[in-house]
A and B are shown apart, each in its own frame.
Chain A
């Protein structure tokens, strides 16, 4: 299988890797770039554990080929904290104990960040619908929703 040379930007850093064209972006992030924060849950776009943004759009990285990332901008969980400072969503997830096993957490944080970028004051219902593609088998979601609400309030300067 002929490998394809892919040049892309991940969390602001220019990167390149050699991809088998059948490999997903998820596989490329984890296996070629050692960015293992993005998790594989189902591998079929149902669980959201592999959520990343591709040119600003929230996607499941298991449903994107690595070769499709050529020339694009990818943002993953590794780019969320800046200069060792946790993002407000990350802090509120800890504050609310909005995780147990933590496997779904990177995907949910990336998805929630994408929500707050376009809707800084989402209702509970909007949060639940937005995150409907992010499955958590531990928490029952209530703590997650409250953490997102509090992070949103903090980011709006309302907290």
Chain B
């Protein structure tokens, strides 16, 4: 295995495009090193992205949105007060990943590119309308987060392409988001079901909403029908019932050791309701 430490994303993309063998990118390493140890992946080339300037930065864009570097670990996201104030649902999803030790290394970009349908940080990013910059040998393009995973362990990224930053849109006034997951214990587990809701209010009414569901399909789902179910409402019981029904209807899970199809379909509705209430209260400034 050759270990590379490029100092620009263009250089990383060129290295990757020129590589003939199996290649992995290294940021936090909390998935890659486990796969290497298990013998699942024996890379010929390992490209460490942490020598590229800016990869550890969280910066506010001119429009009020955020740019998050690909090596920013969960611990740093969680300690960033202004980011947590704007996008608490995104941060709480990432902060559910693993232990204190894992939080010291694991990144949003890694969680996304690992391609797990149960990735805890991805529904929050999708609900937020986050985009990623993909850099390849021929330049860069901006892609919505929901377009990245194509199936368990698979992404849309082609040979020579890599994610060079995550962008969160401006929060704007009267907005809130939240992420909830179900696990059979209190901590340190993989989501059986996850749900993220992001709302923007006009007075008491929901003007805009995005709902994203995790671990109930081969990829994280952006569910427009679930968002439509609450837009225009004050999140009354009838709207919550519609939200739960639309979320359950969109779920196409499998049965495995973590949960059955029936359980996941039911619980995704419950979590969507609860996450929507938290997001709504946050938008109202009633909770953090």
Contact = CB atoms under 8 A, between A and B. Distances in A.
Contacts of B36: 22
Nearest to B76: A57
Interface string A29-72: 00000000000000111001001001001111011110110000
Interface stretch (A78-86, A89-97, A129-137): A129-137
A68 B99 CA distance: 21
Nearest to A111: B100
B98 A65 contact: no
B29 interface: yes
Contacts of A132: 99-100, 187-188
B101 A21 contact: no
A4 B3 contact: yes
A43 B37 contact: yes
Interface string B165-196: 00000000000000000000001100000000
Contacts of A76: none
Interface string A8-20: 0000000000000
A24 interface: yes
A101 interface: no
Interface string A119-149: 0000000000111111000000000000000
B187 A129 contact: yes
A130 B33 CA distance: 23
A130 B34 contact: no
Interface residues on A, range: 20 to 34
B104 A57 contact: yes
Nearest to B102: A45
B1 A44 contact: no
B50 A63 contact: no
B30 interface: yes
B283 interface: no
B58 to A, nearest CB: 16
Contacts, number: 82
Contacts of A54: 104
A21 B1 contact: yes
A159 interface: no
A62 B33 contact: yes
Given A44-B37, A45-B34, A1 B98 contact: no
B48 A68 contact: yes
Given A45-B34, A68-B50, A1 B1 contact: yes
Contacts of A57: 73, 75, 104-105
A36 B146 CA distance: 45
A130 B78 CA distance: 14
Contacts of B75: 57
Interface in B96-132: 98-102, 104-105
B147 interface: no
B46 interface: yes
B104 A59 contact: yes
Contact of A59 (B3, B50, B101): B101
A63 B102 contact: yes
B158 interface: no
Interface string B42-62: 000010101000000000000
| 8 tightest Cβ-Cβ pairs between the two chains A and B | A133-B99, A21-B3, A57-B104, A60-B101, A59-B104, A44-B34, A133-B101, A63-B33
25 contacts: A21-B2, A21-B46, A44-B38, A45-B33, A45-B34, A45-B98, A45-B102, A57-B104, A57-B105, A59-B101, A60-B101, A60-B102, A62-B37, A64-B29, A65-B29, A67-B3, A67-B48, A68-B48, A68-B50, A111-B101, A115-B100, A132-B188, A133-B99, A133-B101, A133-B102
Given A57-B105, A134-B99, 5 more contacts: A21-B1, A21-B3, A60-B102, A62-B37, A115-B100
